[in-house]
């Protein structure tokens, strides 16, 4: 038997309580029972997002919500600015191009964050930009953009600010209304720790004005249909009923823990992972400590070691699934997810498997150094899984 652990930045581990909800007999999506749960989930998502804006639950993965944001907000040929710090920034560009938008790319090295000042310079120069898009946590690199600073800038321009917060939500504080974000995108399978298959978007009044005049073809993801259905606590089409029921429980667990405590937990889990990596003599993709997010830690694979082999040994031999590098940094980094239903012993297990796999690959280090460093972080912070 190889016991399995999932330590990726999505999907994330799911608690037994949530799995039990997910496994309950199906209710009909037009029934009052489901309507009640649907409205509860919507309200809890608003709490998580810190918003009074409309929130729409979509049956799709996160990419479906990215597509929804783009197809509903613009007219064909509109100019948009994408601040790209990694693979998911590139995805914003690809979707925008597919739907005939003109994309201005503001690209950074993978491992860096976007400079809000650069966004301001471009907005000052190109007065007809209709939207600015950025990631909160860029999952492919582990970097965390300063969305608050960007929001302060974009709110003074006509452009909509669209933020993919899919992997950052519940790991780091996110204040939709306080930061002036027009559209926030999230998913079920990340910090919320529910099954995969549900995404959601919050829509500001400013965004609604754009949605009403947008001329990009869309049907399944038409937010006007979603808005009409929301009046009856429903979705226009058959939703992922069991996933939404599971999310209701998962959101309860987050709110019971206390959202600020959830952020603290993620910060300490990230610190423990970082200290372990340092003790093993490893380097980070995000060089600047203050720019590292709390959802996932991206670690450079040491010279002479095959990154794909390292991930494979951890998964196949030791049962611990972590993520490798995406796109142009495939094989060059490993990514340890510490997002969602994760406690200190998950991190210790992942570090232990990493050490054992590194030893298998003849990497020169002191076995146990990583685990010791992680334990020290938990002890020093008086950390207990609660
Ligand atoms: C930041 C970010 N954006 C978008 C996505 C795409 O989401 P999905 O794979 O659910 O379509 C992911 C998923 O990993 C993500 O982490």
For the domain made up of 16-255, the CATH class stated in words is: alpha beta
Instruction: Please list the residues that pair with 199 across neighbouring strands.
Output: 58, 187
- For the cut 90, the answer to whether the pLDDT of residue 385 exceeds it is no
Sequence ranges of the domains in the chain: 5-10+258-380, 16-255
DSSP state of 196: S
Nearest alpha carbon to residue 139 among 179, 88, 99? 88
DSSP states of 54-70: EEEEEES-HHHHHHHHH
Atom of ligand 1 nearest to the CA of 196: 10
Within a 10 A sphere around the Cβ of 3, how many other Cβ atoms?
Answer: 8
d(CA 187, CA 59): 10
**Which top CATH class is 5-10+258-380?**
alpha beta
Instruction: Count Cβ atoms within 10 A of the Cβ of residue 20 and give its class: 0-12 exposed, 13-18 middle, 19 or more buried.
Output: exposed
What confidence tens digit (pLDDT) does each residue in 181-237 have?
999 999 999 999 999 999 999 999 999 999 999 999 999 999 999 999 999 999 999
Paired tokens of 352? 């232990």
Distance CA 305, CA 361 (A): 7
Please, what sign has the CA dihedral across residues 377, 378, 379, 381?
positive
Which of 11, 12, 59, 63 to probe ligand 1 with, by most ligand atoms within 8 A of CB? 63
What rounded mean pLDDT belongs to the chain? 98
Q: Determine whether the shortest distance from the Cβ of 60 to ligand 1 is under 6 A.
A: no
Whether ligand 1 lies within 6 angstroms of the CB of 139 is answered as yes
Centre of ligand 1 to C-alpha 263, Å, is: 20
CA 240 to chain centre: 20
Q: Do 16-255 and 5-10+258-380 have the same topology in CATH?
A: no
Token output for 353 = 């498997």
pTM: 0.98
CA distance 47 to 124: 34
Q: How far is CA 107 from CA 181, 279, 358, in A?
A: 21, 32, 33
Handedness of CA 177, 180, 184, 189 (dihedral sign): negative
Mutate to test the pocket of ligand 1, among 113, 187, 295 (most ligand atoms within 8 A of CB): 187
For the residues 147-158, what does the mean pLDDT come to?
98
Q: 334 and 298 in contact (C-beta within 8 Å)?
A: yes
249-306 residue pLDDT tens = 999 999 999 999 999 999 999 999 999 999 999 999 999 999 999 999 999 999 999 9
Q: Could you tell me the distance, in angstroms and rounded to a whole number, from the CA of residue 92 to the centre of ligand 1? A: 11
Is 200 close to ligand 1, i.e. is its CB under 6 Å away?
no
Condensed to tens digits (0 to 9), the pLDDT of residues 114-127 reads 999 999 999 999 99
What pLDDT digit, counting tens, does each position of 62-117 carry?
999 999 999 999 999 999 999 999 999 999 999 999 999 999 999 999 999 999 99
Whole-number Å distance between alpha carbons of 211 and 222:
9
C-alpha 28 – ligand 1 centre gap (Å): 29
């Amino acid at each position: 038997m190889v016991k399995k652990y999932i330590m990726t930045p999505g999907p994330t581990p799911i608690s037994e309580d949530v799995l039990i909800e997910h496994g309950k007999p199906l209710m009909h999506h037009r029934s009052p029972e489901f309507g009640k749960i649907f409205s509860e989930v919507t309200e809890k998502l608003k709490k998580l997002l810190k918003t009074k804006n409309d929130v729409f639950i979509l049956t799709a993965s996160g990419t479906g919500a990215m597509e929804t944001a783009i197809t509903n907000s613009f007219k064909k040929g509109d100019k948009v600015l994408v601040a790209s710090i990694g693979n998911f920034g590139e995805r914003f560009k690809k979707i925008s191009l597919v739907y005939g938008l003109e994309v201005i790319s503001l690209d950074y090295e993978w491992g860096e964050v976007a400079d809000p000042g650069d966004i301001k310079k471009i907005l000052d120069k190109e007065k007809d930009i209709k939207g600015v898009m950025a990631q909160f946590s860029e999952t492919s690199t582990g970097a965390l953009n300063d969305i608050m600073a960007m929001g302060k800038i974009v709110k003074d321009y006509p452009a909509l600010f669209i933020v993919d917060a899919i992997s950052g939500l519940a790991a780091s504080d996110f204040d939709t209304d306080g930061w002036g974000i027009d559209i926030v995108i999230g998913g079920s399978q990340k910090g919320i720790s529910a099954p995969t298959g549900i995404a959601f978007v919050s829509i500001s009044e400013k965004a609604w004005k754009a949605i009403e005049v947008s001329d990009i073809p869309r049907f399944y993801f038409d937010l006007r249909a979603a808005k009409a259905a929301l009046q009856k606590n429903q979705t226009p089409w058959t939703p992922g009923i069991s996933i939404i029921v599971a999310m209701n429980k998962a959101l309860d667990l987050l709110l019971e823990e206390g959202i600020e405590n959830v952020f603290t937990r993620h910060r300490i889990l990230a610190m423990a992972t970082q200290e372990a990596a340092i003790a093993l003599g490893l380097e980070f993709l995000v060089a600047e400590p203050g720019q590292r997010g709390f959802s996932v830690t991206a670690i450079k694979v040491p010279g002479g070691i095959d990154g794909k082999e390292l991930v494979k040994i951890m998964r196949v031999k030791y049962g611990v699934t972590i993520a490798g590098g995406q796109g142009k940094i495939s094989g060059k980094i490993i990514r340890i997810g510490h997002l969602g239903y994760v406690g200190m012993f998950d991190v210790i297990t992942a570090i232990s498997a990493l050490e054992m796999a590194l030893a298998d690959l003849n990497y020169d280090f002191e076995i146990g150094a990583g685990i010791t460093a992680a334990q020290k972080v938990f002890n020093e912070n008086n950390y207990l899984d609660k």
